[in-house]
A and B are shown apart, each in its own frame.
Chain A
């Protein structure tokens, strides 16, 4: 291919190789970068040229990064990779706790650094480019200021009996829900709207004779599920089984739910949706255990739920309404959750909400007025 030949022209030095190495460093730092993006990056750098350092930075960022939360990681990896001497100095400065305590002016920047370093050190395989990994870990450790007990729970392999019990529980605990009507249409003999296109196609097949008006009806789809899972100390066994349930719901052969998003909350809020997408339940649970740092810690429910509202509510709940269902509605956790979340969805949906008793004893449901299009259900467990 001509593009590949172009890449190998000797006049360009080793910049293609360097960008490839840089991309690999980014991948190791947890940013997913595709080969197509890499190719775009190379042609983009060729278009902008090397005249300006900032242009180079922005060019790579525009082509390799697709999420705002990766911007900080990109920034750190970029300066680490392209060997900014000032940056290395700052790193040394950061690593010395004494110096850092005296320095109060760079407070904001340090906060960003810590986040990025966390991202660099979390789940990162040792890499040639990031040779200062050990020091980075030390820094992340030293700068940890909260007094939380952050214990990573090490999920063991399930025993056979446990697995069957979980499977049975999941089979029995179906969460029945009515499908939602969407705004998209599908051919249907009972539909109320005419299907002009299909009618015309049929007429043409019959030489212009229109014998029957074909119809279509709104398509149905299952609502999305957003689960908030309490993983504080007292709930450990329970929440573990709940994760089995959520995994089962996600991988169910006949799904009654659309997208399943899950969050754990104890002292902090963690989005574990990606872990649940692993097919093997052991893998999924192990990954959750690594992700959520607050297994069996204390509870700071109000705080976690507030963060859910502010940071995730608008993104996972969609714009429309959200009834809540709580398992164990009488528990203080659920009461607080309902109180906090009803305030938020009020904001999210922009409509008023009023608690309403539900048909089943085990479920507590809050439904919104005039909720015809429900996007997702929040389940607090």
Chain B
């Protein structure tokens, strides 16, 4: 039996060791997912670090990360298993040529493990040397409803049924993390089998911590400026609010441009790193950016 962290503090320490700063709420959910062996369903806006959680957990526990990127039309053949059709054809031809037409023998040979191509879900069910792997099912909302139904069996029983072979059950259940951007409501049947967590935008202090952990070259003054501006931006009525990923990208851009502090000119030059919709950029660029910057600085001064 693989060992799991015994307390929430240990889980938080593992995340911190991977430079992933998170609150106690996320720590609690991750601890429960590990201990109760239930899948963890993470939902939130794009760029708040959902995928990173899986990566940090895999690296922190020293497990293999198996990633299944979802897309429309994803089916069992691409997600669970597929038969190696061409190899089966060759085998069937050989059997025919050699006159060996015993049906039972042919069937058991053709549908043996040798002809099975393993896809991520099946790989995750198999035993691994380092312990059960972390299975990341990324952006579940991008698939359609039929695929969610495939997942139900895999996630509640940790087993996969292949009609020709039978049921393959994981000896030790993998650590499953599902993420969703909520472009579509995922069915309740799937959510109920999981522990649910809504990943929200972080508070000011936490975002500064994240920024300093991820971009060590960023000075304290600049990171305060950046985070205050981005936080102020999230209060505006935008089509897509900037996530933490955008904050980090922006900080890297500013460092590459040798900026020591934010100014309206620098902001308008680099706004594309923070806002990804033309409507949003047009709304914020110019005098609006100056106003937001001033407000952010005023808030900073008030807080300190």
Q: Interface digits, A33-69 against B, CB 8 Å rule (1 contact, 0 not)?
A: 0101100100110011000101100110111011110
Question: Is B83 within 8 A of A197, CB to CB?
Answer: yes
Chain B contact residues: over half helix, strand or loop, or mixed?
Answer: helix
- For residue A169, CB closer than 8 A to chain B, the reply is no
- Chain B residues with CB under 8 Å of A133's CB are none
- Chain A residues with CB under 8 Å of B204's CB are none
The segment from A2-10, A238-246, A310-318 that touches chain B is: A310-318
- Chain B residues with CB under 8 Å of A68's CB are 43, 198
> With A183-B73, A203-B92, A208-B95 as given contacts, are A40 and B103 in contact (CB-CB < 8 Å)?
no
Question: Which A203-230 residues sit within 8 Å CB-CB of chain B?
Answer: 203-205, 207-210
Q: Interface digits, B139-152 against A, CB 8 Å rule (1 contact, 0 not)?
A: 00010101000000
Q: What are 6 of the A-B contact pairs (CB < 8 Å)?
A: A44-B195, A47-B35, A58-B25, A62-B195, A62-B197, A65-B196
Q: What would 9 more interface pairs be, CB under 8 Å, given A48-B8, A200-B85?
A: A44-B195, A54-B28, A58-B29, A66-B41, A200-B110, A204-B103, A207-B101, A209-B96, A314-B183
Q: How many inter-chain residue pairs (CB < 8 Å) link A and B?
A: 107
Question: Which A296-315 residues sit within 8 Å CB-CB of chain B?
Answer: 310, 314-315
Question: Is A48 within 8 A of B31, CB to CB?
Answer: yes
How many A residues have CB within 8 A of the partner chain?
42
A202 to chain B, nearest CB (A): 11
Residue of B nearest to A43 (CB): B36
B88 to chain A, nearest CB (A): 6
Question: Is B198 within 8 A of A71, CB to CB?
Answer: yes
Residue of A nearest to B41 (CB): A66
- For residue B24, CB closer than 8 A to chain A, the reply is yes
- For residue B283, CB closer than 8 A to chain A, the reply is no
The segment from B60-68, B185-193, B246-254 that touches chain A is: B185-193
> With A36-B192, A48-B8, A347-B239 as given contacts, are A55 and B83 in contact (CB-CB < 8 Å)?
no
How big is the B interface, by class?
35 or more
- Chain A residues with CB under 8 Å of B237's CB are 310
Measured CB to CB, the residues of B under 8 A from A are 8, 24-25, 28-29, 31-32, 35-36, 38, 41, 43, 72-73, 75, 83, 85, 88-89, 92-93, 95-96, 101, 103, 106-107, 110, 142, 144, 146, 182-185, 188, 191-192, 195-198, 237, 239, 277, 279
> With A204-B107, A208-B92 as given contacts, are A37 and B85 in contact (CB-CB < 8 Å)?
no
> With A43-B36, A315-B185 as given contacts, are A347 and B29 in contact (CB-CB < 8 Å)?
no
Residue of B nearest to A56 (CB): B28
Residue of A nearest to B43 (CB): A68
CA distance A37 to B188 in the complex (A): 12
B232 to chain A, nearest CB (A): 14
